[in-house]
Structure 1
Amino acid sequence: MGEISDPRKVIDRRKLTVELAALADEGKLDEAAVSRVLKAALAEGRAEVRRRFDATGDGRMAARTLSYLMDQIIRALHDAATQLVFPLANPSTGERLAVVAVGGYGRGELAPHSDIDLLFLLPYKRTPYVEQVIEYMLYRLWDLGLKVGHSVRSVDECIRQAKNDLTIRTALLEARYIWGEQALNQDLRAKFLKQIVAGTGPAFVEAKLAERKARHKRMGDSRYSLEANIKDGKGGLRDLHTLFWIAKYLYRVEDVATLIDRGVFTAEEVRRFEKAEAFLWSLRFHLHYLADRPEERLTFDLQPELARRMGYTDHAGSRGVERLMKHYFLIAKSVGDLTRIFCAVLEAQHQKRSLLSRARFGLFQREIEGFPVDGDRLAVADADAFVKDPVNLLRLFEVAQRHDLDIHPASLRLITRNLKLVDAKLRADPEANRLFVAMLTSKKGPEITLRRLNEAGVFGRFMPDFGRVVAQMQYDMYHHFTVDEHTIFAIGILWKIEQGLIKDEVPIASEVVHLVQSRRVLYLAVLLHDIAKGRGGDHSELGADIALKLGPRLGFTDEETETVSWLVRYHLIMSNTAFKRDIDDPKTIQDFVAAVQSLERLRLLLVLTVADIRAVGPKVWNGWKAQLLRDLYWRAEELISGGLIAVKREERVKVAVDALRSELGDWTDAAFAAHVARGTPSYWLAYDKETLARHARLVERAERAGDALALDTRIDHWRAVTEVTVYTADRPGLFARLAGALALAGANIAAADIFTLANGKALDNFQVQDGEGREIERPEDLKRIRQCLERMLADDEPAPPDLVFPPSPLGRRTELFNVAPRVLIDNKGSAEHSLIEVNGRDRRGLLYGLTKALAAQKLQIMSAKVSTFGARAVDVFYVKDKFGLKVEGDARLKPIRDALMAVLEEGEAKTSSPPAAPSPSDPDSDSAAAE
């Protein structure tokens, strides 16, 4: 890494010591004076480190320099304590101590906001003098504002505790002498190597790898999380530290380059290690300085400025922030490669299979299809296996998948060195393509195998279009993983659906997946559905073109290829229809069926949509979305099979009313007839009989009591919503008032059904959630909703009032993403209504502003579909004019569009941070429910 240049510009310890001694001579060396002198030296040193880092961007050197600065502060403090404050002319053995750095500080690395981990090392037991010195030093370090983790132990206590505690053992492994009685540190080092390290290498390695695995699981077990933790996440600095700990424990090395001589790493692999370490340290320093705290997560709000500081600029087809994150993900992948390589060498050199998996002993060699088997891992016979037959680069993975075997890390290392063999000739090889399709569609489960292929670098080279989305992020709040990781997750979910492993959550998809005629088509469509992300333009159309090229190469028939291409082209149509259109409107179903055309495509589309949405990230899938997709599927299936055509609307209404009568068996015929007279055909067909019965009882109670307002709430855990039903006199702007009241109460509206009954009363039903997308069920929250609704409806003013809403639970995060305001008015999507689709940045009270604007335009809102995808709100209103007709003509539509745009732009104007640069991704991707 190189020596620190001009270290006295960072801190001059001699000058510092002289200054403290002068204060002591003058009788002014009180605690405040010591703290003041050290604080000034620390501030000057940190400023110098910051200046050097800003000039060079060298995070590793900055980490080393900060560590050097802290060393000198601690040495000066130690000398002041032992020589000036508590001087002893001839200290006894028990009055001696050593100050030792442990943890990251022990490695000689400190980030700007790192903790300082110290071991005060004693010869045998504490004495009053030693306790006095330690206490004095700790208080002065705390006065400096440092976060100090410390322990006070004798040499023997360290050894005893290290035998049983892996954390202490690791800390002592990195222990570094700072100041004081150096012989104590030497004694500790000698005993540690003799009593702890000797003969325990395999056990230590196994424990550290198990610790690493547990940490990965705790952090989400993916190195492709879009808000990655660069320290503890998979592929982060801690993984590099783990490799170094193991190397130091086994080989007694002090730097990674020494591993070349030990035959562990090649010179190229050491360069990869150092490149990864340098990038991660530079990123970490920028992160700490930018956040001004010990932040280790690349949160969305910090990513754009980090990209700017690190020199990532916008290019055609990609933004600077996306380029930064892609670089990070590739570095994280490289760290994973190095881990596999390192583990392969450990096993080869130590002949301990337990270093990587279960603690089994005894080697039983056998062979499967030309590949030797070592325990439960498949290997290659010799170093030329791939050169002799490049198809083996795929065959190895396929055989391992078929026989439920892992792949030997030594073989993975050999693959990495032979990736150039994955060329155009291999891509055109029929057997190579057959093997790939066999892995993709295997009933053994393709997710693990595809991830192995991707991690090894084979996947992206064998399918270059997929290689373009490896580590490709999408800078939004909706997606949680890179495109390649999302795709592999989706294929894994498809397999779980097929195996019936999640049938309780997706029962219809789990049933219809077995009715599709070609599962090969389904698996390939899921693989290719996002393959054109990040190219600009419509990724669905571009992906469909890619499917037409890849299908024949992979051995698919023309019919199969055409179906795959269609699925990729229309993979968003089902989610867009279910979440953004009124599926109670017959025209919606007719238009959807006109696009889908067949039961086979409908079934394929449902399963693909479910897998796609569930793979977006945690908490994206819920019962509400499941219900909407199920309803759309059943209605489309009924129409395709002739059901809706055969049964007239009047007959369907009669069936619904008869079913309601059976639910209200305790009602008199007169009471039931009076209630039926209030309803409308669209209302009777909108709900199941249980919901209709619940509404009926609410209406009957209100009419009998003469209540001006009746409210009912019901928690639906399956759909993850709370239903809020309002029965009151209809009036202009009523929907706006209700939306405003719910927003004031902190509720997010997921969907709304609006009905005006024959008696002039409104029966409006809202599905609401909290800020985390969950049902609202706390009594105090439900009470607040009721109070806000009552207050809002008590207002007699003709126009809805101006309201001030509480901050969104997402805070400033929604301000980070570009969401272009857009208003679309469609008079073809419904036979009776005009559809107004509004896209804009989500914020608390947005729906109120939009509906208030529509009320001002004298429009009746008949139904609303309300959706949120990350920072983007997509609200669709089914409206009529005051005469009950569609809204048509430019002279009428332009004021409506302008009024809604004004509401959207008002929210943009209130955004305190500048808008992000436009994303090059296709326009439908930001608002799509499934990506």
Structure 2
Amino acid sequence: MTFSPALPQEQLFEALQESAQPGQYARQYLEQGQERLNQAFASTDITELVRDRADLVDQVMIAAWSLFGLAERDGVALVAVGGYGRAELHPCSDVDVLVLMADSPDQTLRDCLERFVAFLWDMGLEIGHAVRTLDECVELAREDITVATNIMEARTLGGSDTLRLQLEERTGPEHMWDSAAFFAAKWQEQVARHKRFNDTEYNLEPDLKNAPGGLRDVQMIAWVAKRHFNADSLEALVDVGFLTAEEYGVLRKCLDYLWEVRWQLHVHTERNENRLLFDHQRQLATRLGHEDSSANLAVEHFMKGFYRVALALSVLNEMLLQLFDEVILHNEKPDQVRPLNRRFQVRNDYLEVTSPQVFEKHPSALLEAFVLMAQNPQLKGIRASTVRALIYNRRQINEAFRNDPENTGLFMQLLRSPHALFSQLRRMKRYGILGKYLPEFGGIIGMMQYDLFHIYTVDAHTLLVIKNMRRLRYEDLREEFPLASEVFYRLPKPELLYAAGLYHDIAKGRGGDHSELGAEDAIAFCQRHGLTAWDGKLVAWLVRSHLTMSVTAQRKDISDPDVVYEFARKVGDLVHLDYLYVLTVADINATNPTLWNSWRASLLRQLYTETKRALRRGLNNPVEKQDWIDETRDAAMKMLTERDHDPKAIESLWANIGDEYFLRETPRDISWHTEALLDRDDPEDPLVLIRESSQSVLAGGSQIFIYTPDTRNLFSATVNALDTLGLTIMDARIITSADGFSLDTYIVLDENGTPIGEDWPRIEQIRKMLTETLKHPERFSSTVSRRMPRRHKHFDVPTQVLISNDIVNDRTAVDIQTLDRPGLLAHIGRIFMRFELLVQNARIATLGERVEDVFFITDLDGDPVSDPALCQELQETLIKELDDKNNGNS
């Protein structure tokens, strides 16, 4: 018969009966029905759509039940459970059904049921099914809270409703899982679920169903409400006084938003996908109507909205579960109450107001609550009823409130608190107080940056910076951050550091230089909060300069005394250096856990130490390079002669190396290299030395030293071998001696971001492969062929190349920013080789999906690249070839 897209139930059954291929007909019916729903998305309320999707599935499910003669059978029923039982289905949601029987089935019924289930799969539905007797269901529900929960949401589709009602009665709270046991079990279930997502709403690729602030958190509230109050809807919680009408409105709005996102995610992926992977985020942003702005991408607007909804739901979930806890688990226990002051008291270890009108009569109590929490770290939290009052009364925070000296004094008291500053700022953010008191902070809540470098939203990152600062007070952190801990204790006013941390990224997303804009906000904050002019200038300088130290350490040659002097000049004095160093360490550790490794730590430590020396020497008395070189040579010579090496042999070896080697290397490393060169058996073979870096007592990485005849493709061949070995290059120093030998030092980390250590089999493997490569570097012809990581493929990082001449060091700097990929350094090296250019030095920085590498190059004669046409051609070639993401990564 001719297909009709929408039929009454009886006609659909007849159509299936008459069809030669009923499974194909049902599949087509569902597909075309779903297409109609998708087309209605823009003009239809999402609540109606998810109900209509369930109705559509109901139609074919009921018709199929009749098609296989099951509607006429006694003692068997088709029951929808789970989300389908709630009549809430998204395009590709699992359709969970229970075939409920009074007794074990006979063979005829078994056969019918097998054909029925097979037919459901033929229709293209993602079926989750169970076939059980009433007694089996009761026993399973007693053992498994998930089964008991599913039964609570059941509804009958086919057969008598009597069986389902009997099941509902026998699994009710009077027989099993009373409301206290049910609530306790579901709460533990939620705790375990949240833990799988690191207890944060702010994952880079969030799960909109299971993560904190997701759909499961809403269902959790509904399940407990149904079990305890027999409430059939969230709205019913308003009637029993557990939700205000305003809270229900927020809950409903947030739920609808998540449903809209999930609907479009299913349509886009054509599967039951609940993870907002990078693969889908940009497309979903477009589907949901977001557009790029001058300051933010459409995907960033979309994800900011998502994170804000997740946070709002998470706070509601937290508040309501605490209320349930009081009513369900502790309703018969006597309260223990002790006063704190006229406005606050402690009830059962939770802070609460002494009367419902406290915030209305004393608006400053909105901040005082968090000061008291910091002063009483033994408290478990703020009581749910007080949280509700905080959220309701935050509307009182206006310009007059923000400028009131009592309130600014309370906020500064919090910043100076010896306990729980991070916890209280985080609590203030969750309850919407911090964003109201500091509107500039409110603007960054939920803001994300679409890259792999910044793995937290701006607000979460900001508070993590402050958490990292606070952690430096603890003894157990001294081993991990010895210098930062020591410097932190010298800071005269730690609250200035916290203020800088609070404001360092506060202007992100506005367009323009966020450091400059943030410094202006910081000045205003300091003036409003009564800080002295000097203190305000320091905080603003820290905000303005918060990237300076990391950029200098990672992108410049800090073994060059001129670089250190220039940085010292920017810092000006030891107080500014101390504050900036601690801020930088805290900032890097709060950006991305993979960023902080022993090598970055050693770079910052080296820059801090050398800058401190320069400041003590005086900015009017900079160190001379020749003095630096002479001191290094003398120190290395002393080490070698103490080990009975001939000074004449040493001088002969050093005669052709050149001054730059003694400028770049430490005396300890020079003596190590020299001793190995003097003692080697075969002077024709390449020399490969491997050990931990000697930048400081705490090794920053593994150091690989290579001494071999120089060739044009030596850099490309070497970095390709290191890449093949799974090593990450952090730093490269390439020095060519006057007699045609290359003295190259690479600082590397293993795949897990740590030095190689004393893994002798691994060291021998590296040495052997490098030696074989260096014997015949001319045979190197292709880069590694490992695939690009999945996440990287979804980022568009246009290659940027800046070429400039380093006049002081007589070489050319090539600054390259591009997408990270396997074999990238070898590819860049091959381009330099084609242009007959030599790499003299390189600083390698990998920032998420992006690399920011600086290469210092010369021509074959050792001179800078002075031909503008050649520079332009090199720039164009690098951009063209590196913008091909598939080059060497297919």
Please, what TM-score do these two structures have when normalized by structure 2?
0.90
Unpaired runs of 5+ residues, structure 1, are 1-7, 355-359, 913-931
Post-superposition shift, 1:767? 3.3
Q: Which residue of 2 aligns with 1:388?
A: 361
Give me the whole-angstrom Cα distance separating, in 2, the residues matched to 1:824 and 1:58. 55
| 1:153 equivalent in structure 2 | 132
Residue 726 of structure 1 corresponds to 706
> Alpha-carbon deviation of 1:14?
2.5
Aligned to 1:867: 845
- Check the 8 A contact 2:560/2:664 in 1, yes or no: no
**Residue 311 (structure 1) shift:** 0.6
Quote the Cα distance in structure 1 between the aligned partners of 2:155 and 2:774.
Answer: 67
Match of 1:364? 336
1:567 maps to amino acid: L
State the shift of 1:233 in Å: 1.4
Q: How much does 1:729 deviate? A: 0.6
Query: Could you tell me whether the CA contact under 8 Å between 1:162 and 1:196 is conserved in 2?
Result: no
1:397 and 2:397 correspond: no
Contact 2:553/2:604 (<8 A) preserved: yes
Output the CA distance in 1 between the equivalents of 2:760 and 2:63. 57
1:296 equivalenced with 2:269 (yes/no) = no
Q: 1:345 to 1:564 in 2, by over 3 A?
A: same
Contact 2:601 2:700 in 1 (8 A): no
- Report the Cα offset of residue 481 of structure 1: 1.2
Return the match for 1:269 from 240, 247, 257.
247
- Please name the residue that 2:37 is paired with: 49
Give the counterpart letter for 1:658 in structure 2.
K
Question: Hey, what does 1:612 align to over in structure 2?
Answer: 587
Contact 2:282–2:299 (CA under 8 A) maintained in structure 1: yes
Matched, 1:650 2:625: no
For residue 584 of structure 1, give the secondary structure of its aligned residue in structure 2.
coil
Note if contact 2:636-2:671 (Cα within 8 Å) is conserved in structure 1: no
When structure 1 is superposed on structure 2, of 226-235 and 444-453 the one drifting more is 226-235
Q: Is the 8 A contact 2:703 2:746 kept in 1?
A: yes
Cα deviation digits, residues 809-850 of structure 1 (max 9, x gap): 32463552344613141536x444443322233333433343
Distance in 1 (CA, whole Å) between partners of 2:478 and 2:663 is: 28
Name 2:682's counterpart in structure 1.
Answer: 705
Matches of 1:874 and 1:117, distance apart in 2: 50
Change (3 A) 1:688 1:82: farther
Distance (whole Å) between structure 1 residues aligned to residue 123 and residue 214 of structure 2? 30
Question: Is 1:64 aligned to 2:36, yes or no?
Answer: no
Q: From the superposition, tell whether residues 907 and 399 of structure 1 become closer, same or farther in structure 2 (CA, over 3 Å).
A: same
Q: Which moved more, 1:653-662 or 1:788-797?
A: 788-797
Classify the secondary structure of the residue corresponding to 2:472: helix
The answer to whether structure 1 residue 633 and structure 2 residue 611 are counterparts is no
Give the aligned residue type for 1:102: V
- Does 2:426 match 1:426? no
Q: SS in structure 2 opposite 1:302?
A: helix
Displacement of 1:909 in angstroms is 4.8
The Cα offsets for residues 746-797 of structure 1, whole Å up to 9 and x where unpaired, read as 6543221212245532132323456775668897999599658845862548
CA contact (8 A) 1:386 1:393 kept: yes
Residues of 1 paired with 2:879 and 2:47: CA distance?
46
* Deviation for aligned residue 1:609: 0.7
Which of 450, 471, 487 is matched with 1:512 structurally?
487
Pairwise CA distance, 1:670? 7.3
1:303-349 CA-partner distances (Å, limit 9, x unpaired): 2211111111123433322211111112112212322442354356x
Q: Relative to structure 1, is the Cα distance of residues 818 and 850 closer, same or farther in structure 2, using a 3 angstrom cutoff?
A: closer
Of 695, 719, 722, the match for 1:739: 719
Specify the alignment match of 2:874 in structure 1: 899
Distance 1:894 1:586 in 2: 32
Structure 2 stretches of 5 or more lacking a match? none
Q: Which moved more, 1:56-65 or 1:542-551?
A: 56-65
Alignment equivalent of 1:437, drawn from 412, 424, 448: 412
RMSD of aligned residue pairs (Cα, Å) = 3.2
What does residue 339 of structure 1 align with? 317
The CA distance in 1 between the partners of 2:142 and 2:860, in whole Å, is: 82
Q: Aligned AA for 2:632? A: R
Would you say the 8 A contact 2:207–2:276 is kept in 1?
A: yes
| 1:189 and 2:189 are equivalent in the alignment | no
8 Å Cα contact 2:523-2:536 kept in structure 1: yes
Is 1:724–1:767's contact at 8 Å kept on the other side of the alignment? yes
Cα distance change of structure 1 residues 259 and 351 upon mapping to structure 2, 3 Å threshold:
closer
**1:580 is aligned to 2:555:** yes
**1:357 corresponds to which residue?**
none
Structure 2 CA distance, aligned partners of 1:363 and 1:624?
Answer: 54
| Paired letter, 2:313 | V
Give the Cα separation in 2 of the matches to 1:514 and 1:206: 44
- Select the structure with the greater relative contact order (CA < 8 A; seq sep ≥ 6): 1
Decide whether aligned partners of structure 1 residues 196 and 767 sit closer, same or farther in structure 2, where only a CA change above 3 A counts.
farther
CA separation of 1:441 and 1:835: change in aligned 2, threshold 3 A:
farther
Question: Which has the higher mean CA deviation after the structures are superposed, 602-611 or 316-325?
Answer: 316-325
Cα deviation, residue 608, structure 1: 0.5
Within the candidate set 144, 149, 152, 1:173 is matched to: 152
Partner secondary structure for residue 641 of structure 1: helix
Shift of 1:236: 1.2
Alignment of 1:471-510 (within 5 A): 471-510=446-485
Distance in 2 separating the partners of 1:844 and 1:344: 50
The answer to whether the 8 A contact 1:823-1:897 is kept is no
Deviates more, 1:451-460 or 1:816-825: 816-825
CA distance in 2, matches of 1:667, 1:863: 30
Tell me how far apart the structure 2 counterparts of residues 400 and 514 of structure 1 sit (CA, whole Å). Answer: 24
Instruction: Tell me which residue corresponds to 2:12.
Output: 16
Query: Is the partner of 2:339 in helix, strand or coil?
Result: strand
Tell me how far apart the structure 2 counterparts of residues 124 and 524 of structure 1 sit (CA, whole Å). 70
Corresponding residue number in structure 2 for 1:756: 736
The percent of aligned pairs where both chains have the same amino acid is 31
| Offset of residue 202 of structure 1 | 2.7
Rate the CA distance shift 1:682–1:186 in 2: closer, same or farther, 3 A: same
Q: CA separation of 1:782/1:21 partners in 2, compared to 1, >3 Å: closer, same or farther?
A: farther
TM-aligned CA deviation for residue 385 of structure 1: 0.8
> Do the aligned partners of 2:448 and 2:458 also contact (CA within 8 Å) in 1?
yes
What is the TM-score of this pair, normalised by structure 1? 0.86
1:561 corresponds to: 536
1:878–1:822: structure 2 CA closer, same or farther, 3 Å change rule? closer
Secondary structure, in 3 states, of the residue corresponding to 1:234?
coil
State whether structure 2 residue 639 is matched by structure 1 residue 659.
yes
Is residue 480–residue 617 contact of structure 1 (8 Å, CA) maintained in 2? yes
- Whole-Å separation in 1 of the counterparts to 2:123 and 2:746: 55
CA apart distance, 1:549 = 1.2
CA deviations 1:494-536 (Å, max 9, x no partner) are 1011223422222211111111222121111111111111111
Q: 2:24 aligns with which of 4, 28, 36?
A: 36
Q: Deviation per CA, 1:850-891: give whole Å up to 9, x if none.
A: 333434444432211011212322111223444444455xxx
Aligned partner (choices 770, 794, 797) of residue 776 of structure 2: 794
Q: Structure 2 vs 1, CA of residues 790 and 441 (structure 1 numbering), >3 Å: closer, same or farther?
A: farther
| Deviation for aligned residue 1:443 | 1.9
Query: Could you tell me which amino acid in structure 2 is paired with residue 363 of structure 1?
Result: D
Aligned to 1:919: none
